Amino acid sequence: MARHISPSNATNKTINAIDRKREKERYILLKNARENAAELATSLVQRLLDERIIETNSDRAVRETIENQLKKLIDMDEFDMQYKVAPIRSVSQDPNIISLYLTQFIIEDLINHPHIQDVFGDDLDVYNAVDSVLSKIRPR
């Protein structure tokens, strides 16, 4: 018969502490995104336009779309969020989950928005532009 080796109690406590810390940071990040959605969306759309990532005929409509995404992230199921960011998870060593989500949203969904003419750049270009704005709400 095979013996089952379980990690020591100290290891479990350490793993649980790390998980609690990550979950707390994630909640704070999502709460800050919801509370500051309007100004983050404005800054993000401006950055995307300045970096020539998106081309649009209505920045207001794009801003409202991104603002709505930021507001509803906190209510999103963890599985749905992880599924959305899975294709680009490795774009950064210490990724911001909201930056990953919005990057994938821009690449997959925003491109089909009626006011978007085109989305330019690769995944890393879009992520860097998004994260440069959203890093301000990330807890340190």
**HSE of 94 in the Cβ direction (CA atoms, 13 Å)?**
6
Q: Which of 108, 95, 102 is nearest to 130 (CA)?
A: 102
Q: How confident is the model at residue 2 (pLDDT cuts 50, 70, 90)?
A: low
Q: How confident is the model at residue 4 (pLDDT cuts 50, 70, 90)?
A: low
pLDDT over 80 at 8, yes or no: no
pTM: 0.84
3-class DSSP assignment, residue 56:
strand
- The amino acid present at 15, given as its one-letter code, is I
pLDDT of residue 128: 93
Digit-coded pLDDT (tens) for 42-80: 999 999 999 999 999 999 999 999 999 999 999 998 899
Q: Which of 22, 131, 127 is nearest to 78 (CA)?
A: 22
Digit-coded pLDDT (tens) for 86-117: 888 888 888 888 999 999 999 999 889 999 99
pLDDT of residue 95: 84
pLDDT of residue 38: 94
Q: How confident is the model at residue 39 (pLDDT cuts 50, 70, 90)?
A: very high
pLDDT of residue 12: 81
